[in-house]
Amino acid sequence: MLKTGTIRRRCAARGSARRDLVIAILAILSWGSASFGEHAGPSVDERTTPEAPPAPVVLSPIGEPTSFWTRPRLTGDWGGLRSQLEDSGLSFSLNYNVYYGNNMHGGQGTGQRGSGSYDFIIDVDLEKMGLIPGGRLFAFAQGWQGDDRNINGLTGALGDPIDDADGTKVIYVDQLWYEQKFLDEKLALRFGRLDQQTIIDRNAYAQGEDCQFFNAFLDNNNAIIPLAIGTGATLFIKPTDWLGFVVGAADGDAQIFRTGLDTAFHDGADFFGYFQTDLHLTFHSSQGPLRGTYRFGFVYDPGVLTEVRTDSNGKETQHQDTGDWGVYLSFDQQLYRESRKDDQGLGIFARLGHRDGDYNRINEYWSGGLQYKGLVTNRPKDVVGFGYYSVHSSAHYRRNVDSMFLRENGFELYYRIQVTPWLTITPDVQYIARPGGDRATDDAFVMGLRARATF
């Protein structure tokens, strides 16, 4: 979450040492569950796409083909039932994340805290089920544990250093939508309860706070595109493999823990809209194709906004107007791959955004960084990432509201260790200069640790 004034918010055992490490992490996950309350967690692998029509559910013989240490999910395939359900069009996943954070210096105060999150996903392919060609139902429920026991408040930063630590909520529905594809999948219409930040400005190397960067400003273009989670509709247009468009509208008054039915269709409809162009490019190399996506987008909010002005005598006045807007650019591009056999290699990403400075505390943002998969010998699934971000206040805000507020900069480095296919551990360090944009606040140094289990 962000603290940005008028701005709104939203990835085989090799000896006893490895087994001991996994057992220790499972103990941490169990401790997190006991400490933070009830939980259920989700994560889902890519669904299989069988060529034949769905077959009747038939259980596999007792004994699964993969061991506890090599199976993709901790609970396994349930004797073949899970694969049969996925082949028939029904897939679901459960992930659980445990976080530890320590603000070691600066900010609003030092200290160490723990938190957790869990999510449950149900994905229904109605075409596989033989019901509706091109139809899909999707539901995503999420919950958090930790209350005030995360470190975000201690740093005083504009964006959460641990984006997935959002207090305590036993469970709520984050997404619930239906999607229909047309014209050989060149068009797709999605409507229902949408999380816009899972739709626009997606990035291969800086998107998931539960598997990539911890910080909110590296997870999304939060400062420029703080689109609310709520009722909306999106149209995806893909005339060719290398060109795509996304256009949508959603409830501007949506609140994350409410259904949205009481805000989307009552007391005057306040909807914001967005448009994005996607350019998919592939460059050829001796080690295989290097793929990238380049995006340009525009956001418009017709809602009523308040502008604060200060006259020559220091007296504040408020002026209301409509029409907040923002533009953004972003890209992700693979620069190098080690071989044609896999996706190990180096990738780069960057984001840039600008928003109307008359109504927004932050009106300029940019970030960038690198990710390398398989950097360490004999660790092909491990991922290391480095990112930098900078958010700037508008001149109007500094002149009329807070002359001390300037900008906040941050660096982050993480290393995601693939302990087993279903368990990752990610150490993380962050340095935040001028937390909260306040020049009088000492720079913060944050260390973190994330354990993620896929059930």
pLDDT digits (tens, 9 = 90+) for 238-267: 999 999 999 999 887 666 666 666 665 566
Q: What does the block give as tokens for 38?
A: 């009830």
Class of domain 16-47+89-454: mainly beta
Q: Assign 3-state DSSP to the chain and report helix, strand, coil percentages, each to 5.
A: 10, 50, 40
DSSP state of 60: P
Is the pTM higher than 0.85? Answer: no
Read off the pLDDT of residues 40-98 as tens digits, 9 standing for 90 and up.
333 333 333 333 333 443 444 444 456 889 999 999 999 899 999 999 999 999 999 99
DSSP state of 259: -
Rounded percentage of the chain residues whose pLDDT exceeds 70: 74
Taking residues 267-284, report their average pLDDT: 86
Low-confidence winner among 49-58, 113-122, 163-172, 236-245 (lowest mean pLDDT) = 49-58
Taking residues 133-143, report their average pLDDT: 95
Res 396 pLDDT > 90: no
Res 424 pLDDT > 60: yes
Res 16 pLDDT > 70: no
Taking residues 19-30, report their average pLDDT: 49
For residue 95, list its beta bridge partners: 119, 454
Res 187 pLDDT > 80: yes
Confidence of residue 211 (pLDDT cuts 50, 70, 90): very high
pLDDT at site 230: 86
Q: Any residues with CB less than 8 A from the CB of 354 and at least 6 apart, and which?
A: 224, 326, 327, 328, 363, 364, 365
pLDDT at site 251: 82
Confidence of residue 409 (pLDDT cuts 50, 70, 90): very high
Contact 411, 397 (CB under 8 A): no
pLDDT at site 305: 66
Q: What does the block give as tokens for 85?
A: 């359900």
Q: What does the block give as tokens for 25?
A: 């992490």
Res 362 pLDDT > 50: yes
Residues in the chain: 455
- Across 163-167, 219-223, 376-380, the highest mean pLDDT is recorded for 376-380
